[in-house]
Structure 1
Amino acid sequence: VDDYALEHHGAVSAEVVVEMSEGAMNVSFADYSLAISGVAGPTGGSDTKPVGTVYISARSKTSVHTERFHFEGDRNYIQEQSVLMAVKMLLNIDKELFFA
Structure 2
Amino acid sequence: MILHVLSIVLVEAYWVLRKIYNFDKKMILGVFEDFIEADGVELEEDGLVQRVLARFRRVNVDLVDVYLAERSRSPALSVLTWNAADFRKLECEFYRPQDLR
Which protein is richer in strand relative to its size?
1
TM-score normalized by the length of structure 2 = 0.33
TM-score normalized by the length of structure 1 = 0.33
Higher radius of gyration, 1 or 2: 2
